[in-house]
Amino acid sequence: MVVEPSPKAELRRQLLAARRALSPAAVEAAAQALARQALALPELAGAGTVAAYVSVGTEPGTRALLDALRRHGARVLLPVLLPDNDLDWAAYEGPAGLAETAHPGRMRLLEPTGPRLGPDAVTEADTVLLPGLAVDGRGMRLGRGGGSYDRVLARLERAGARPSLVVLLYDDEVVARVPEEPHDHPVQAVATPSGVRRFG
């Protein structure tokens, strides 16, 4: 019996294939443009603490943005992947404070080397920058399917925390419709290399 891929799995496959086709020059140019667009967001310009992440491979680049946030005086928290796919957090102290970590069955990640602050540290963030593969006009985000950020969003909800949620994507990853499940949370905005879009 052939099992058909779910709509989410099929959309992920298409989007990841498109990312793999990007040249290093295109990825770098998009990263610089994305940093400029994202910094124009009031949610970032006025944030005291930002939970972010270090992009890997052909993900929309975040490193220029991380450094710009630090220069603007924000405290930047970065995730550390735990064995159960939950996320711990540590402060970003600059590129020298990152180390490549190999996680079995996962891609190699750049993670902060400083003291771990615990999974609940994310509840202190004014803004949470989320990785993703797509977002639709309702603000529904499609992640990679590992569940790490589903746990983060559930943790924020349990704590009564209300940070701004912003997903960082390429321009063509703003799509007509993202398949959703009951646990999915909408984001307030998407930043892409060509601009910012807000959702109601």
The pLDDT tens digits for 45-56 are 889 999 999 998
Each residue's pLDDT tens digit, 10-47: 999 999 999 999 999 999 999 999 999 999 898 888 89
Domain count, the chain: 1
What is the pLDDT at residue 144?
83
The parent domain of residue 148 ranges over 7-198
CATH number at residue 106: 3.40.50.10420
User: pTM here?
Assistant: 0.92
Among residues 105, 120, 147, the alpha carbon closest in space to that of 8 is found at: 147
Residue 1 domain-assigned? no
* Per-residue CA distances from 43 to 94, 128, 163, 179 (Å): 21, 9, 9, 27
Mean pLDDT on 190-197: 95
Residue 62 domain-assigned? yes
